[in-house]
Amino acid sequence: MKLSRFQPVARYFEEPQIEVGEGILVPDPKMGWTLVGPLGDKSANYDINIGIIGDASSIEATRNLIEKLNVTSYGKDRTFLHIAFPGIGKLRIRLNVKGAAQIDGESLRTQMEKSVSLSNRIELFSLIVEEKIKALLDKDPSPELLLLAYPKIVDYYCIEGAIGYRGMRRKSSLEKFIEKERRLHRPLDTFFGMPSPALEAFRPTDLRSMIKIICMKYKIPIQILRPHTTSPYNSEVPNREDDATTYWNLIVALFYKSNRLPWRVRKLMADTCYVGVSFFRDRSDPASVKTALSQVFSLDSEGYVFKGGKAITDENYTLHVTKEEASSIITQAITQYKSSKNDQLPRRVVVHKTSKYESYEIEGFKAGLSEGITLDLVAFGTRNLKLVRWGVQPPIRGTMIRLPDESVLLYTNGFIPYLGMYPGPRVPSPLEILQHLGNSPIDDICEETLALTKLNWNNAKFCTKAPITIGFAKRVGEILRNAPPDSDKYLQNRLKYYI
């Protein structure tokens, strides 16, 4: 059999630069912060007022960690990938502990050991944390950011071990009866008149999600520290990254959660609003999938999250948004953009989604636009295609291949010339752009996508594989999926509450 041949279109896009200090361009956040500090006035000092929650042991470990942040810590090697952490003083950052709320460790252990249900343990600890949050916020001055240091007993019983009954929803007797009748091919009229099964009470199964929701209720962001984060680094039994990498990631996250932008990226248009649409399954209604969490970004403002309605599926079980929901997403995105830009409308909206666009979705997204605003629709997906590069190194980050069906393979992860290596454990796979609808050149779309992989303000990594518009979708969706049924009134729309 003779295979048809094609001539692919290949291009290489240079690494996007980030702005730190007073507009200084560098490729790497760690190097930029080391040289000139975070984005902003190079002479500015940044005070972050924090409150600590934990038992006696974890609070002491957290205070020791804060002390370590004041001195230089070296990575496991002297490469650009593991740049030494210079200490927060040289970054002009100061962490001020405004109070600590101590949990009774012995009482907590007793209650944890008595409980046989994971859900009960999570609910128990969540209530304790909520009490401590209220106590810290009653102080004057109150902290602007919380550090929750999990006691070891909580880490074991609710996360690492997570033993016991998880409280997941079980099938009711009616549902079991219906399944049995279906297996016997009973006619549908057998089920007429039967009452629908009652929904069981909500039982929490994810501690992190519960803590995040509680903090949204009190409008204060939180950084969660597990015991291995505050423990000494052991290279022989590594349960976390080396000290320098850990401290870099922690301080960038704290800086962002204290209402400051660590850096911003060039090659993003100043008048463009970037919207990510993804899906998550709602635990309160197992039969439905929520439409989306829409993540909105622009050149110089932080991310925002909006919870959507129900999604719909096609004959291939692919998820889509309705026409009305698509229009609502665009309207909300433009409204939020205006709010952060002094009532200035964007000239262009770019929508990223993890499935191809149907005609009704396209109509809905266009219907939500204001006059004079252009639209680009980009669909990402995966077909497990990979490229092979001559030699021992994988394809270079920034490599783009355009295929005959007009889809694109874009290597957002791969060999990075600046680092002189590929910072990954496995053979990298490209990000696939399956569909692009709009007037912007595909080269511009690829360059923007690369730039959006450098906006992960939850750590100091060089880049991520997925653009920020969809990169945090799984983690944000996990929080919304595990949120209590009555928590919608507490949900905040700023991304800092979810990471």
Q: What pLDDT sits at residue 190?
A: 62
Helix orientation angle between 118-137 and 207-217, rounded to the nearest 10 degrees: 30
The angle formed by the CA atoms of residues 406, 299 and 322, to the nearest 5 degrees, is 55
What are the tokens at 408? Answer: 């694109």
Tally of residues, the chain: 499
| Distance separating alpha carbons of residues 54 and 105, to the nearest angstrom | 9
- pLDDT tens-digit readout, 124-149: 999 999 999 999 999 888 999 999 99
Q: What pLDDT sits at residue 482?
A: 84
| Distance separating alpha carbons of residues 381 and 432, to the nearest angstrom | 5
* Three-state DSSP class for residue 321: coil
Please name the residue ranges forming H helices in 151-296.
Answer: 152-154, 173-183, 207-217, 227-230, 243-257
Which range of 172-186, 222-236, 296-310 scores highest in mean pLDDT? It is: 222-236
Average of per-residue pLDDT across 340-347: 88
Residue of higher predicted confidence among 482 and 174: 482
| 249-to-154, 245, 262, 340, 478 alpha-carbon distances in Å | 23, 6, 11, 26, 21
Average of per-residue pLDDT across 435-457: 94
What are the tokens at 161? Answer: 């071990």
Strands across the sheet with 46-54, in order? 93-102, 46-54, 145-149, 222-225
Cα 44 from chain centre: 29
Burial of 93 (0-12, 13-18, 19+ CB in 10 A): buried
Cα 241 from chain centre: 19
Please name the residue ranges forming H helices in 90-165.
Answer: 105-114, 118-137, 152-154
| Distance separating alpha carbons of residues 244 and 267, to the nearest angstrom | 29
Encode 175-216 in three state secondary structure.
HHHHHHHHHCCCCHHHHCCCCCCCCCCCCCCCHHHHHHHHHH
Neighbours of 377 (CB within 10 A): 22
pLDDT band, residue 193 (cuts 50/70/90): low
- pLDDT tens-digit readout, 212-231: 999 999 999 999 999 999 99
Residue of higher predicted confidence among 484 and 247: 247
Q: What pLDDT sits at residue 359?
A: 95
Residue of higher predicted confidence among 71 and 312: 71
Instruction: Return the amino acid letter for 9.
Output: V
What are the tokens at 462? Answer: 């060089």
In the predicted model, what is the mean pLDDT of the chain? Answer: 87
Q: What pLDDT sits at residue 167?
A: 42
| Distance separating alpha carbons of residues 172 and 166, to the nearest angstrom | 17
What's 109's DSSP letter?
Answer: H
Q: What pLDDT sits at residue 168?
A: 44
User: pLDDT at residue 286 above 70?
Assistant: no
Taken in order of first residue, the domains within the chain and their CATH numbers are: 27-166+203-257 (3.40.50.1860), 267-497 (3.30.420.10)
| Distance separating alpha carbons of residues 21 and 35, to the nearest angstrom | 9
| Distance separating alpha carbons of residues 408 and 9, to the nearest angstrom | 9
Q: What pLDDT sits at residue 1?
A: 41
Please say whether the beta carbons of 32 and 18 come within 8 A: yes
Residue of higher predicted confidence among 370 and 151: 151
- pLDDT tens-digit readout, 375-405: 999 999 888 888 888 888 899 999 999 998 8
User: pLDDT at residue 50 above 60?
Assistant: yes
Q: What pLDDT sits at residue 198?
A: 56
Burial of 371 (0-12, 13-18, 19+ CB in 10 A): exposed
